[in-house]
């Protein structure tokens, strides 16, 4: 049977790529998940694995060709070459298993689109420990998620190549597992590891076609460009960096003074301090939030909502709701529905800026900010505007659990068009949420607190909540922001408006 190899998803707003390099030729045997080719986009380099074992058939898109998402790249004749395929179990250093007499390399797994490196956070096994197939060996930490690395085979952990705290790239070797025993295999492992390194230094590496073209246009040679691709291959973005560096050598030193030196600390105080390295997730959160402040013209408007009707409705139907749908009825589904309703009337709050264009989204992918032990993440509920109360509650519960367990994938945190952040669960009475770029709006929920309110000339006690909408003033005017918040308030104070689409 013939299997088609197609262009994978390339990431948000990326619609095409250039075929940079083919690692296989027609007639070559391929194993499942063995790398067939490398695609180059404007932002990242994407490796395309084999969807099945077999023999490489026709290469439809040659090196240098530009292809769209889901375009046909090649074909594989399934099964015909399956016998020799296991020899390539470790895609990058293929010579290592043979040289080490039955050892298996533990490689960095796929980290997700646009993620090129990770930090080894924890090893669950030590050298000499016996491991079972699929048993967790270590945990990697990326900018977004934590990735557990399972053992590809049963045996004994012979060598840890990347200890805790090491930053590794997407094709790096983490460890070596010996299948023949603990005593004899650890010694040859360093020699085997040196083989691919030596081979790499003496190998002629072909640069990406787009990089060759860019170097020719810029009048540069390969010796003037430092390659960041596989085996030091020069990519298009490497040439762009080299050209920019050559054109502006003086200003390059300007960003250096950015880090502010820490003020001197008294010796007595220093002895009682503890210095802990920031996790990659925390570094990314800090960078993105600061970039958001520096990029957007951010402004916050406030209102308050009487939660009496929502609380009464929830109290009346929560038992029936949970019995029928198997999930508790919370406040988040009401707020999600109210926001989707308001976004239809004020679409600019659901839009984003792309250069000199405004991109209006005719759908709502709702981001729900969730606090985890490692930091803040924002899983996305896709097409929330077309979901029922029960579907929203189930999605939020499932995403929240995956976030707390560190199991969210990159795809689950991408593509949001608007975000809700509930600081009320921590007791916050009022705050100004920060935008989640490239979004133009974020709603902040807060603590429900009984307060005296003037209703029809009388002072009565009502459960009140402050609402905060932070928005990008470059795209959302004050009138639109206030209208949005008022529509959310009206929908929550009279939930029947949601049913009547008012």
Q: Are 415 and 363 in contact (CB under 8 A)?
A: no
Conformational region of residue 38, where left means phi above 0, alpha means psi within -120 to 50, and beta covers everything else = beta
Strands (E) located in 256-320: 298-306
DSSP output for 21-76: EES--TT-EE-TT-EEEEEE-SS-EEEEE-SSSEEEEEE-S-TT-EEETT-EEEEE
Q: Which of 134, 477, 494, 501 is catalytic?
A: 477
User: Look-up: residue for tokens 């925390």?
Assistant: 282
H or E element, residue 335: helix 332-345
Strands (E) located in 101-161: 103-107, 117-123, 130-131, 136-141, 146-150, 155-160
- For residue 162, give the DSSP letter: S
Q: Alpha-carbon dihedral of residues 400, 403, 407, 410, nearest 10 degrees?
A: 110
Q: Which of 231, 319, 473, 501 is catalytic?
A: 473
User: 365 catalytic, yes or no?
Assistant: no
Quote the distance between the C-alpha of residue 482 and its chain's center: 32
C-beta atoms surrounding 276 within 10 Å: 6
**CB < 8 Å & 24+ apart, contacts of 288-292:** 288/436, 288/437, 289/434, 291/437, 292/434, 292/435, 292/436, 292/437
Angle at 297 (CA atoms; ends 296, 300), nearest 5 degrees: 110
Taking every pair of Cα atoms in the chain, the longest distance, rounded to a whole number of angstroms, is 88
Q: Six-digit token pair at 437? A: 């770029």
> Distance between CA atoms of 116 and 118, rounded to whole angstroms?
7
The total number of residues written for the chain in this structure:
502
**Could you give phi then psi for residue 389, rounded to 5 degrees?**
-60, -45
- Helices within 69-116 (DSSP H only): 95-99
User: 477 catalytic, yes or no?
Assistant: yes
Q: Are 178 and 153 in contact (CB under 8 A)?
A: no
Give the active site residues.
473, 477
């Amino acid at each position: 049977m013939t299997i088609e190899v197609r262009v994978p998803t390339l990431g948000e707003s990326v619609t095409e790529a250039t075929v940079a390099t083919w690692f296989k030729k027609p007639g070559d045997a391929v194993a499942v998940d063995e790398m067939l080719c490398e695609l180059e986009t404007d932002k990242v380099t994407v490796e395309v694995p084999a969807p099945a074992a077999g023999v490489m058939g026709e290469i439809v898109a040659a090196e240098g060709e530009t292809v769209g998402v889901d375009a046909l790249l090649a074909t594989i004749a399934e099964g015909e070459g399956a016998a020799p395929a296991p020899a390539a179990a470790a895609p990058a250093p293929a010579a290592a298993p043979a040289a080490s007499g039955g050892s298996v390399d533990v490689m960095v797994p796929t980290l997700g689109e646009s993620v090129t490196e990770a930090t080894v956070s924890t090893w669950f096994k030590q050298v000499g420990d016996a491991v079972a197939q699929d048993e967790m060996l270590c945990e990697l930490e990326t900018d977004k998620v934590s990735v557990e690395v399972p053992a590809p085979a049963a045996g004994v952990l012979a060598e840890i190549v990347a200890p805790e705290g090491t930053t590794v790239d997407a094709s790096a070797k983490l460890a070596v597992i010996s299948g023949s025993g603990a005593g004899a295999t650890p010694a040859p492992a360093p020699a085997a590891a040196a083989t691919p390194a030596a081979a790499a230094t003496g190998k002629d590496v072909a640069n990406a076609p787009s990089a060759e073209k860019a170097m020719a246009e810029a009048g540069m040679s390969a010796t003037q460009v430092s390659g960041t691709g596989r085996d030091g291959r020069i990519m298009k973005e490497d040439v762009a960096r080299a050209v920019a560096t050559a054109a502006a050598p003086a200003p390059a030193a300007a960003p250096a003074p950015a880090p502010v030196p820490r003020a001197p600390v008294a010796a007595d105080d220093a002895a009682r301090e503890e210095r802990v390295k920031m996790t990659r997730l925390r570094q990314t959160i800090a960078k993105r939030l600061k970039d958001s402040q520096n990029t957007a013209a951010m402004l916050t408007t406030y209102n308050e909502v009487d939660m009496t009707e929502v609380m009464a409705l929830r109290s009346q139907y929560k038992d029936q709701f949970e019995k029928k749908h198997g999930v508790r009825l919370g406040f988040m589904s009401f707020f999600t529905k109210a926001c989707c309703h308001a976004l239809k009337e004020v679409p600019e709050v659901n839009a984003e800026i792309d250069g000199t264009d405004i991109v209006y989204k005719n759908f709502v992918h709702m981001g729900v900010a969730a606090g985890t032990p490692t930091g803040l993440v924002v899983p996305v509920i896709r097409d929330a505007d077309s979901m029922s109360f029960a579907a929203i509650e189930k999605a939020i519960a499932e995403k929240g659990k995956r976030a707390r367990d560190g199991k969210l994938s990159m795809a689950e945190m991408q593509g949001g068009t608007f975000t809700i952040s509930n600081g009320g669960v921590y007791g916050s009475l009022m705050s100004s949420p920060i935008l989640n770029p490239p979004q133009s709006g974020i709603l902040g929920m807060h603590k429900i607190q009984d307060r005296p309110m003037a209703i029809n000339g009388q002072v009565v006690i009502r459960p009140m909540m402050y609402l905060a909408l932070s928005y990008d003033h470059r795209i959302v005017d004050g009138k639109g922001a206030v209208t949005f918040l008022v529509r959310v308030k009206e929908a929550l104070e009279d939930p029947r408006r949601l049913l009547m689409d008012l």
